[in-house]
Amino acid sequence: MKNIFAFYSTYAGYTVFFLTLLLSSCDKAKNNPSPQVRPTVGNSASTGNYLTFASREEFEEAIHNIDELAPGETIDQHLKLWEEEHGGFYSLRRKHEENAAQGDSAVSPINDDYFATMVSPEGTIQIADRIYRLDFEQKRVYHIPAAQAGELYEEMIASPSNNQIKYYLFDEPVLDYITTEDQGTPSSQSRLGISLGSGVSCGNGAEALSDDDEDYLASNKRIKCNVEYQKFGLYFSLLAKAKYQERFMRVWWAEDACMTIVPDPGAFWREKCLTNTNTYNGYISNSCDDNTVVMRYHKSTRGLNKYQIAVKFRVGNFNSQHYYINQ
């Protein structure tokens, strides 16, 4: 049995959100226009397109609005329509969806499908006057000025070694740092960043980035469950997610089902740049229009100082085991 650590125990009974004033450095603008698709610089047939956001505020607005589903709309339908409305954008999410349909078992490096819809298959995205590339193996965020894309873009998405290409680490709030004197580390050099643990829970106080497993309703029925804190430098996500599947001819297929995320007791988190304030979410999330249920508790360009998710997943009368992460 996993224990809920003491820091959050006093908040378990609350069912409202707590929020204080942001520090002046954390102010966010709202009501910005939707992003536009921009062809990749260099017209490389191998790289396709990436999305361009005119500002950080526009990017943040899209982060928060992309999960606004219409009544009866499934997540998959919604994200496909979102891509179509943005110039038929070919996203990382779409690439992995197509690969899976062809029998590829590779897992997307971004479990948050909403953010995976905003990133190109090469992990690139433009925000304001800089183009960023997420390197999922090295856990780096490379960046170049958009004005220098013609000479640096192709190298940035391949094997960066040019010191004009700089990077931050996935742990770091890139869009905060880029406005300071710290413009990143040249790609050929090592960078000492924020150390936040191994990502594997190893006792009280240890950081756990994810908890996932498969819960079987029967020999041919299961739900794949996951709670996770994902860090990509440009985007930080705290989410719970489950998919329902049934096995036929030795293959597990997605099947529609009514699914629920049951708070036990829910999620708590503290965003960086906020005064000592915890946010609590104990809402029940339901989905009967798809094979997937998702709750994005935190979705921001800033990471978290502390967090916890403690939930169960339900399909019909079946309850999963307890899923739990904390820092």
pTM of the model: 0.81
Mean pLDDT (the chain) is 81
The whole domain housing 220 covers 6-22+198-326
Q: Which of 141, 161, 186 is the last residue of a domain?
A: 186
Question: H-helix or E-strand containing 199?
Answer: none
Q: What average pLDDT does this structure show over 174-190?
A: 94
Please tell me the least confidently modeled range out of 122-131, 200-209, 227-236, 298-307. Answer: 200-209
pLDDT digits (tens, 9 = 90+) for 71-122: 888 899 999 999 988 888 899 999 999 988 887 777 899 999 999 999 999 9
Residues 44 and 128 in one domain: yes
Residues 151 and 214 in one domain: no
Does 76 fall in a domain?
yes
Please tell me the least confidently modeled range out of 103-117, 177-191, 275-289. Answer: 275-289
| Confidence at residue 48, expressed as pLDDT on a 0 to 100 scale | 59
Residue with tokens 């995320």: 261
Residues 206 and 118 in one domain: no
Q: Which of 186, 213, 228 is the last residue of a domain?
A: 186
Does 112 fall in a domain?
yes
Contact at 8 Å (CB) between 275 and 23?
yes
Residue 74 phi, psi (nearest 5): -85, 160
Q: Which of 166, 186, 206 is the last residue of a domain?
A: 186
Structure tokens at 144: 């170049």
Residues 99 and 221 in one domain: no
Q: How far is residue 261's CA from residue 314's CA, in Å, rounded to a whole number? A: 6
Does 16 fall in a domain?
yes
Q: Is residue 42's pLDDT more than 50?
A: no
| Confidence at residue 200, expressed as pLDDT on a 0 to 100 scale | 33
Residues 39 and 141 in one domain: yes
Residues 14 and 45 in one domain: no
pLDDT category at 14 given cuts 50, 70, 90 is: very low
Does 172 fall in a domain?
yes
Contact at 8 Å (CB) between 50 and 146?
no
More confident residue, 311 or 106: 311
Residues 203 and 116 in one domain: no
Closest among 244, 231, 237 to 172, alpha carbons compared: 231
How many CA atoms are closer than 13 Å to the CA of 307, on its beta-carbon side? 26
Q: How far is residue 188's CA from residue 248's CA, in Å, rounded to a whole number? A: 49
Residues 170 and 273 in one domain: no
Structure tokens at 216: 């079987």
Does 193 fall in a domain?
no
87 Ramachandran zone, left/alpha/beta (phi>0; psi -120 to 50): left
Does 1 fall in a domain?
no
Structural domains counted in the chain: 2
Please tell me the least confidently modeled range out of 5-14, 32-41, 212-221. Answer: 5-14
Q: Radius of gyration of the chain from Cα atoms?
A: 20
Does 191 fall in a domain?
no
Q: How many residues are recorded in the chain?
A: 327
Closest among 94, 81, 80 to 49, alpha carbons compared: 94
How deeply is 1 buried, as exposed, middle or buried, from its count of CB atoms within 10 A (0-12, 13-18, 19+)? exposed
Residues 46 and 146 in one domain: yes
Residues 15 and 58 in one domain: no
| Confidence at residue 66, expressed as pLDDT on a 0 to 100 scale | 94
| Confidence at residue 251, expressed as pLDDT on a 0 to 100 scale | 86
Does 192 fall in a domain?
no
Percentage of the residues of the chain whose pLDDT score is greater than 90: 58
| Confidence at residue 282, expressed as pLDDT on a 0 to 100 scale | 86
Residues 169 and 206 in one domain: no
| Confidence at residue 228, expressed as pLDDT on a 0 to 100 scale | 95
Residues 209 and 74 in one domain: no
